[in-house]
Amino acid sequence: MPDPSHDSSPSKFHFCPDCKKPLRLKQGKMGPFWGCTGYPDCRTTVNDLDGKPSPEPDAQYRCPVCTRRLVRSDRGDGDYWFCSGYSKGCKVTLADNGGIPETAYHCHQCGQLLVKRTGKNGAFWGCSGYPDCRASHRDKDNRPQY
């Protein structure tokens, strides 16, 4: 006779993509997310999707600068993602691209993000560190050409 109070159905368990320890649902300031029980040795977090860890590759939902989780804006002023480290000083925002944050590209000179801009001669990628960093790259197929 199985004990109904002890449901060990494997589907209830979700494992860390990095160290394979179980993930635990946590309530963050920015909403629920899955944290690794191997914390603090493993700092992997996975976005929550309807009560389960998101099956999407987590890297897509990481801040490309500080690796904290990206959070989708729900303020109704257009879809975009912002870094959950915003209050800690990380001001990264990325446009939404069909439900995932747009791919971010780093400046090879200073490591900050490149931002796609439109200039007189068409699209180009400028450094978000401008005017301290004046690196810019031509646009090719929606990516910076390094």
Q: Of the ranges 48-56, 72-80, 91-99, 118-126, which one interacts with Zn ion (CB under 5 A)?
A: 91-99
Site track 19-38 with Zn ion (rule: CB under 5 A), x = hit: x----------------x-x
**Interface pick for Zn ion out of 46, 83, 94, 104 (rule CB under 5 A):** 83
In angstroms, what is the minimal distance from the CB of 9 to Zn ion?
22
| CA 28 to the chain's CA centroid | 15
In angstroms, what is the minimal distance from the CB of 61 to Zn ion?
12
**Interface pick for Zn ion out of 16, 46, 104, 113 (rule CB under 5 A):** 16
**Interface pick for Zn ion out of 25, 30, 90, 115 (rule CB under 5 A):** 90
In angstroms, what is the minimal distance from the CB of 5 to Zn ion?
28
**Interface pick for Zn ion out of 45, 47, 62, 85 (rule CB under 5 A):** 85
**Interface pick for Zn ion out of 106, 129, 136, 143 (rule CB under 5 A):** 129
| CA 85 to the chain's CA centroid | 11
Instruction: Decide: 33 and 48 in contact? Cβ < 8 Å.
Output: yes
